[in-house]
Structure formats: structure tokens, C-alpha cells
Amino acid sequence: MYQKVLDFCKEHSLIETNDKIVVGVSGGADSVCLLVILCQIREMIPIQIYAVHVNHGIREEASRDEQFVADLCDRLQVPFYVKNENIPELSARLKISTEEAGRKARYDAFEEIRSLTGSNKTAVAHNMNDQAETVLFHLFRGSGMKGISGIRPLRDSIIRPLLCVQRCEIEQFLSDRGFDHQTDHTNFEDEYTRNRIRNHIIPLAEKMVCTGIVHHISETAQIASQAEAYITKQSHLIYTRITHEKKDPSRIIYELKELEELDPIIKSYLLREGIQRVKGTITDISSMHLSQISSLTEKQVGKQVDLPDGIRAYRTYNSLVIEDSRADKTEPTVKSVCHTLLFKDTDTVKESEYIIDDFGKLEIRLFMRNEGQIIPQNLYTKWFDYDKIKKSLQLRNRRLGDYLIVDEKGSRKSLKQYMIDEKIPREFRDQILVLADEDHIVWIPGYRISQSYKIEDQTKKILEVKLTGGIKLWQSMLE
């Protein structure tokens, strides 16, 4: 069994030369076995080991267990640390179960001693039986691929060298080498779901379904873990391509068209990653939540799904957004802009060049039309029939009553309706600057000009308006 554990550690890169490892030792068979095997590995590979025991203060045997671990560490010449915790009190204070409180206390203690000793890893004694119990626990409650993957050999700085062996092997190993262990009688009680799986469901399945069920479930978990890792990797590549976070980590924007074309499983992984980034965890996020978010792609603009902890998802024209509604968000400040570019009464251009913050450089010139001139088709350079301008020309924010002519028949459309039709997000509409002749919109830079000001055969005088530079406003909207 020692060789099996050593090979498993090598396969998953759990232990390396000069590692400093904190080992959680409760006194039970699993943790005693883990400590003994690590001490054997220490003879082959230069590593340092520190044992940590957490006295939960619940069972009458707690002091006995603590002394047992202290004596074991003395026998094996391993530095020993003990942490005393009042688990019932911690459970009440945090409003969590005693099982959760105990787990939190243990891992907090491991992290504290890891920091104190300058260790780089923490070893815990989960074995193949724990793996089977975990997989069944997740499966019974409803789980995706990640839950079926069970416990991983390596997660962050936590290693689990015994995941390759069963509990019966552990007990035989200790017996053969003359090592005693303590028995936690609460493991045989049916208060916790995991105990019921361990004490009743797995033995019954072993008897009524097939032998070797723990090993079979563990193999399935390994295959699921490999599939999970692959799908996660591939979906992350897609995630980086079709999402935008801007500078606000509390808001993720997905490109709707790209999202709609993905397979459902990849789409769910992308949504999970977005929620993870915004929320910090996917705790309390179920497959039902992911399905509700995914369905937004088929619904109308403005539809919303509320998720736990203030997270929400909603549909815009071209995107699906996941954000933290509790984050401190300030609405973009709309800077009032109004530059008069020419006065029609005096037939003169006021200035030939304007530098406008967050917009770019605007250049204008007035000239007589010559035969054979080609009208530019550049998105940000436009020619207008100067004689059709009624009063003056202003570059400004939109105003109530603004309109433009959209066809040769003279059909009028309000600027608001045009922006809606063009799917310009509501939050950006007041920031867009337009070229206006009173309330008649001559040009919406980046979009279109009004039909009324187009160059015709009889046009004599041309006004050219050219926009160059950053175009920061349009860039921000595209993001």
C-alpha cells in the first residue's frame, strides 16, 4: 500500500523535494495512516512534516484523542500542534451546522499552522471510501459534472495522498505495522447524511448490486474529473473571447450572438464562470438558475433573472449581463456638450477644427462643388448640401423633439425611436453627440445622416465634416 500511495503522489505531483507539509491528524485510522506513510516518504524524499490536531470539545474522548496524537507524534518524531475549539459555540455564532463548523475550525487551524511553520502544503486523510460517499452525496442531491468528480487529489495547497486506497486497506496497513488508532463513535450514528450513506447505502449496494462498488465509484469520479477539467479548459477559452468585463469585476457582459450558438453544456460552463467571477463562489447556484439565465437569450430585451446573494442576469439588445446588484455603481455622468460649428446667417464657418474630450477631433470645411467629385463613403467623413441647412449647425447631446428623415419620401423618425431601432443601449443614448440643425438631426456620427442633407445633382456648396481620433464613446459602447 505504501508503494501505491507513493505512485499516486508522483502521478498527481502531490509531494516534491523540500516540501513542508502540515498534516491533519484526528487520531482516527485514516489520519494515523497518512502520518505514518508520510514519515516513510520522508525517508526517501527530503520533506518536513508538522502534525496538527484540533480538539473540538464535543466528545468525552476528546482529551484522550489529543493525548493519543501527541504520543504518536513523539514516537514518529513529528512536531505536534494542537488547537482547541468550541465547535457548538462556533456553530451557533456562525449559524451553521456543527459539521460545517468543525470543518471550518479544522481548515482554519491547518492554515494557521501552515503560515506559522512556513509550510507550502496541507495533507488531509480523505480515502477512496470518502470519495464514494461524496460522489453519491452529490448525485443524490442533484449535481453536475463537478459534483460527480468528487474530491480532487490536489486543490490549491491541499493534498490528499490516500484517495487511492480504501478504508479496509488502511486498517490492514496499521494492523500489520502495529499502529493503533482511535475510534470516533459518532461515525456510526445516523445523524448526518454522509454517515447514512457510509453505514447503510454503500454496504447495501455492495451486497445487492455488485462487489467493489467503492472502487468503481472512485474510477467514475476520476473519469468525470478528467472530463470536467477538459470542458472547463475549453469553455474558458471561449469565455475570454465572448465576454467583456471592462474595469468592473462586478459586471460580466456576454456577446449574445456568440452565446446563442454554443452547445448547452458549454453555455452552462460559461455562465458558471461568469457567476463565479462576480459572486466569488457558485455556492447556492443550481442547474435551475443556469437554465433560467440561458433562457434569457430567447426572451425580449430587459428581461431579468434574480439569483442568490444579490446577483442578477438580464438581457440587452446584443448582450447578456451578469452583475452584482449590490455593488456600488454610479451612473455614467452625462457631460453637456453644445458647440456651434457654423452660423448660416453669416455664411461662415465659426472654426475649422474642434477637439472634444472623449469624442475626438472634428474638422469642417466649406467648398464649392466641382464636376466629377466623388462623395466619400468613410463612416466618419461626411459631405452635406450646405444650402439645405436652415439655421446653424451644432454638435450637441440629444434633445426632446429631435428627428431625422430616413428615406427619399421624407419619412420622419424621432431620434429616440431611431436609437431604439438601432439597439443603442439606453444608458449610452444621452452620451451620443449629434450634428443638428435646430431639432433636425443632420448626422449621428458612427451611424447615418438625414436624407434631407444628402448631396444631389443640383448641390452647389458642400460642407465636409470629418471626425478623427479616439472615438472613445463608440469604443466603450462596443465593449
Lowest mean pLDDT, pick from 38-42, 149-153, 248-252? 248-252
Stronger pLDDT, 39 or 425, i.e. the higher one = 39
DSSP string, 171-234: HHHHHHHT------GGGGSSSSHHHHIIIIIHHHHHHHT-TTHHHHHHHHHHHHHHHHHHHHHH
- Fold entry, domain 2-221: Rossmann fold (3.40.50)
Stronger pLDDT, 143 or 154, i.e. the higher one = 154
Instruction: For residue 303, give the amino acid letter.
Output: K
Sketch the domain layout of the chain as residue ranges.
2-221, 245-324, 338-478
Does pLDDT of 332 surpass 70?
A: no
Does pLDDT of 396 surpass 60?
A: yes
Cα–Cα distances (Å) from 407 to 411, 438, 447, 453, in that order, read 6, 20, 15, 11
| pLDDT of 333 | 60
Pairing of strands 121-123, 20-24: parallel
Cα–Cα distances (Å) from 169 to 64, 179, 197, 269, in that order, read 25, 14, 20, 37
Instruction: Give residue-wise pLDDT tens across range 422-431.
Output: 878 777 788 8
Note whether 308 and 301 are within 8 A (CB). Answer: no
Does pLDDT of 125 surpass 90?
A: yes
The pTM score is: 0.69
Instruction: Give residue-wise pLDDT tens across range 49-96.
Output: 999 999 887 767 788 999 999 999 999 999 999 998 888 888 888 888
Lowest mean pLDDT, pick from 15-24, 126-135, 315-324? 315-324
CA count, 13 A, side-chain hemisphere, 57: 13
Residue 66's CB is within 10 A of a number of other CB atoms, namely: 19
- Listed in sequence order, the residues at least 6 apart from 186 whose beta carbon sits closer than 8 Å to its beta carbon are 59, 195
- Fold entry, domain 245-324: 3.30.465
| pLDDT of 477 | 47
Stronger pLDDT, 32 or 298, i.e. the higher one = 32
